[in-house]
Every structure is written in structure tokens, then in C-alpha cells.
Amino acid sequence: MIEPAPAVTSGSEREIYRDYERRRRLQLARILLPIFALVQGAVFVVSVVFVFEVHYGSPIAQIFIFNTALVGVDALLHALGLRFVRQGRVGPATIFVILPIGLTVIVPLLVYIAFGQSGNSPIVAITLGEMVATLVLIVLSGVMATSRWVVLATTLLMNVYTVFILSNMLQLASTGVALRSQRLLLLSFPPLVQWAVAGILFAASGTYLATLRELGDVRVAYARAQQLDQLKDQFIAHVNHELRSPVMALQGHIELLLLAEQTLTPEERHTYLQRAKRAGDGLVALVTSVLAVRRIEQEAGALELSAVAVRDVLESAIQLLDPREANHVERELRVNLPEGLEVWAEPVRVRQILTNLLSNALKYSPPGTSVDVSAELVAAALPSGMKRWGREAAAPRPMVEISVRDYGLGIPPDQIPLLFNRFVRLPRDLASSVPGNGLGLYLCQAFAKAMGGSIRIESTGVEGEGTIFHLRLPAPPPTPHAPSTIKRLTPRLATARSGTTQRPNGQ
């Protein structure tokens, strides 16, 4: 049995984007974490050498040892972050990329400023080094963040931090005094460089995200194409199966007639011919509905709309029902129609829709249960998709709703939207012997839309509560003294038709 294809919904599209973004950041973290661990490790080694060889015993050595230890811890934190990458946890992995870098950039200088303002040269070196390191944070915010506005926020923060530590450096006894005359340059250049980097990232991450979205679209389109492909496979397998039985019945009875002609009684010959004809009819019906699908997709079909009495069209639809679909069992049909109710539609199409809905109701409900048909005039709003403003902003069009209800198994609510797709049958029907080619409802919906109406399914999926199919069609325009109404109607129908052509699967 072929598995039903999963539906590509707008919800799953969003999921695809999110998944894409998640994997991108995870991949970045996977590459960046070991690199940062190594860089921090190198900084740690340089700091240790510095403490032991150059400044051992100097007054600021103790603070410097604290900072060296901090860098070491940060290197370890980066290494630890790889654990989260392996677990696929994007949030913690991102934090373990950014947080240690932030700590390395910001904490050491604040510690110096708080405890060690003794005018020594390491502060100047560290300050200059960290000017550069702030750029790393800005770049990181550009590549790791999900929104590019984070880059701007980070840059502002780094501006404040940079100006703060630089003005602090200017307060130092030795270097500070020497630099004080160049204060303007010292305080303005680094933030400007930061903004240049931020600008590059802002632009790059914008185009980057746009590319990502396009790639996401491609993936969605691919998933859709795959789904369609699966539906086609399913259909081919199904039609193949559906064709083999009638072909065998048709061919077999004819062969039997040829082989056993002499021994057959006239009655037997007649029976075989009739069975062969019935099998042929079944084949024609299958081929016709497959062809109808092609036709309705290629041309909207010039519909000749007229006022159609619901009672008449229902009666002719009942005439067309195949008694075999009810397993030759007498079924109760409860009809509740207001006298004189009419729809504005093409009689043949309405009959086709009703025959299909009634035959479904019979096929998918147990013998002994009734099928109910009712109809009423509803004051519906304009069909969705048609603009509420503009020339036709007049009163909402009255609609007629014809409902066909059975008391069968019902349809699981999550599977209802799938039913209007081509070649789709419920998984349980594919496994059953109920014949069908998965085209009936698709055609009904297409016909209804072409006439300015729609079909809606209501079901709880609870056995015995059954299913209600609501067919909505426009009521006839108020004739005879308002010919303008008819004129006004035409462009609307044209809109409805073109809508159908463009989006055959749209509901």
C-alpha cells in the first residue's frame, strides 16, 4: 500500500525556514567553537608567558593572573559548547560561542579600571588589543543572530564600551598625559571603524538572509513537487488497479462468448454481453473522469448559467445514481427542500456535483442508514478572494446552500483539506474495496468554483455522525426588471473562473 503523501502546509513551510536557520547556526557554532577555543588558548599561553617573564612580582600581576585565568576558563567554555552542538541545541551552542568572547573582551579592562589604575603599560596594550576584539563581537552578532538589527545594537554597545575605556586610558598618569592632545582622534576613530564593520555586516547579513529565504523557497517548491509526484504515483498505482478488474471482466466475457459459443444458451449469451457492457461502461467512466480533470485544468469551460430548480436537478441526479453503489440495498433518502428554491448555475454541472455527493454518501455509509438532503437560502458574504470594494460593492450576493449528509464513518478533520486535491483518497479507502479514483470531489469543487460557488465538508470523524457536504451556489439574480444585474454578474464569474484555473488545488 502506498503511504499518503504528507501535506505541505504554510505551517510546515515556516518549519522548513526555521529548520534551515537552525542548521545554519548550528553549523557555524560547530566550526567557530574549536577555532575560538584555540585562539583563547593562545591568548592564555601568551598571558602566562607575560606574567612569568616580564612582569612577575609587579603590582598589577595579581589582577593580570585573574584575567589570565578568565581567558583559560573562556577557552574551556568554548570547548564545552561543542557538547551542545552535538546534541543539536542551537540556543546554548550560540551562547557558548558569544558569551566567552564577550567575557574576554569586556571583563579584564573593567577589572583593571576598578582595581589597578596604577598607570602601567599593560593596560595600554590590553586596551588597544581589545579595541580590535570588539570587532570580533560585532562580526559574531552579524553572523550568529537571527535578526540583523542585533548588529546595530551590538555596535552601539561596543561604541559605549570603547569610548568608556579610551577615556579611562586618557586618565592614566604616564600614557594618558601623552595622548591627551590627540583625544579627538582617539575617541572618534575606533567607533567609526566599528560602524564601518557593522555596515558591511548589516548589508551582508541582509543579502545573506534574503538568499536563505530564497533557498527556503526552493526547498518548499521541491517538497511540493515531491508531494505531487507521490500523488501521481499513488494515482497511477490506483488507476492501474482500478483498470485491471473491468478490463478482465470485459475481455473475459467476450473471450468466453467466443470459446463457448456453441454450448451457450441465448440467455447466457445475453448475460455475458450485458456483463461485458457494464465493465465497458465502468472503464468509460474512469477514462472520462481522468479526461475531465485535464479539460477543466486547460479551459475553464464556457458555462451557460440559468435559473435551475433545486428539486428538479436533485431528482435527475438521483435518477443517475448507480444502484450497485448502494449494494442493491434500498436506502432511505430524506429530502427537505423549500418550494421553488432555485440556483443560478449550469444544470448539467449541478447534476454532476449532486450525483457525485449522493453517490459518495451511499458508498461511504452502511446499509440501513439514511442519507439526508436539505437546502436553504443563505445571505452569504462575497466569496473570499473577491474584493469588497470597487464597482461591485453592492449588497452581498444571496447564496443557496444544498447539504448532503450521510451517517457513515465520517472523515478525520485533519484529512478533510486533502480531499479536494486530485487523485487523493483517504488511506482507509485505498485499503477498502469501495471503488473510486480520487477525482470526484476535485471535479465537484472545480465545477462549483467555476459557477461562483464552493463546497465545504463538515465532519467530526466520529463513526455514525457521518459527514455533511455543503454545496453553495449563487441564487438567481432578481429578474425580470433588472437586466443590469445580469450584466454585473458576468465579470464576477469571470473572476471566479480565472481563479480556478490558476490555482486548481486551491480551496
Partner 1 sequence: MTPSGSGYTVLVVDDSEELRALVADSLRKLGHFSVVTARDGAEGLELFFQVHPDCVVIDVKMPGLDGYQLIRALRGDPASRATPLVILSAMVQEKDKLAGLLSGVDEYLLKPVGPLELVQTISRVLGRSEEERQQRLLSLLDDQPNKAEE
Residues 323 to 342: which contact partner 1 by CB under 8 A? 324
Q: Indicate the residue among 35 and 237 with the shorter CB distance to partner 1.
A: 237
Q: Indicate the residue among 19 and 268 with the shorter CB distance to partner 1.
A: 268
Q: Indicate the residue among 72 and 252 with the shorter CB distance to partner 1.
A: 252
Give residue for cell 485505498. Answer: 430
Give residue for cell 464569474. Answer: 493
Instruction: Name which position in 64, 112, 272, 420 contacts partner 1 (CB under 8 A).
Output: 272
Give residue for cell 465545477. Answer: 447
Q: Indicate the residue among 183 and 241 with the shorter CB distance to partner 1.
A: 241
**Residue 13 Cβ vs partner 1, minimum distance, rounded to whole Å:** 32
User: Which stretch, 220-228, 274-282, 360-368, 399-407, contacts partner 1 (CB under 8 A)?
Assistant: 274-282
All three cell numbers of 135: 570587532
Cβ count within 10 A of residue 378: 14
- Asked if 224 interacts with partner 1 (CB under 8 A), we say no
Sheet hosting strand 454-459, strand order edge to edge: 333-336, 371-379, 398-405, 467-474, 454-459
Total residues at interface with partner 1 (CB under 8 A): 26
User: Which stretch, 120-128, 157-165, 270-278, 358-366, contacts partner 1 (CB under 8 A)?
Assistant: 270-278
**Residue 468 Cβ vs partner 1, minimum distance, rounded to whole Å:** 25
DSSP 325: G
* Binding characters for partner 1, 405-434, by CB under 8 A (x = yes): ---------------------------xx-
**Residue 260 Cβ vs partner 1, minimum distance, rounded to whole Å:** 4
Q: Indicate the residue among 209 and 434 with the shorter CB distance to partner 1.
A: 434
Strands 333-336 and 371-379: parallel
- Asked if 229 interacts with partner 1 (CB under 8 A), we say no
Cβ count within 10 A of residue 502: 8
Task: Identify whether the C-beta of residue 336 lies closer than 8 Å to the C-beta of residue 371.
Answer: no
Q: Bridge partners of 375? A: 402
Q: Is 339 helix (H, G, I), strand (E, B) or coil?
A: coil
- Asked if 269 interacts with partner 1 (CB under 8 A), we say no
Q: What is the DSSP string of 384-426?
A: TTS-SSSTT-SSPPEEEEEEEE--SS---GGGTGGGGSTT---
Chain residues binding partner 1 by CB under 8 A are 237, 240-241, 244-249, 251-253, 255-256, 259-260, 263-264, 268, 272, 275, 278-279, 324, 432-433
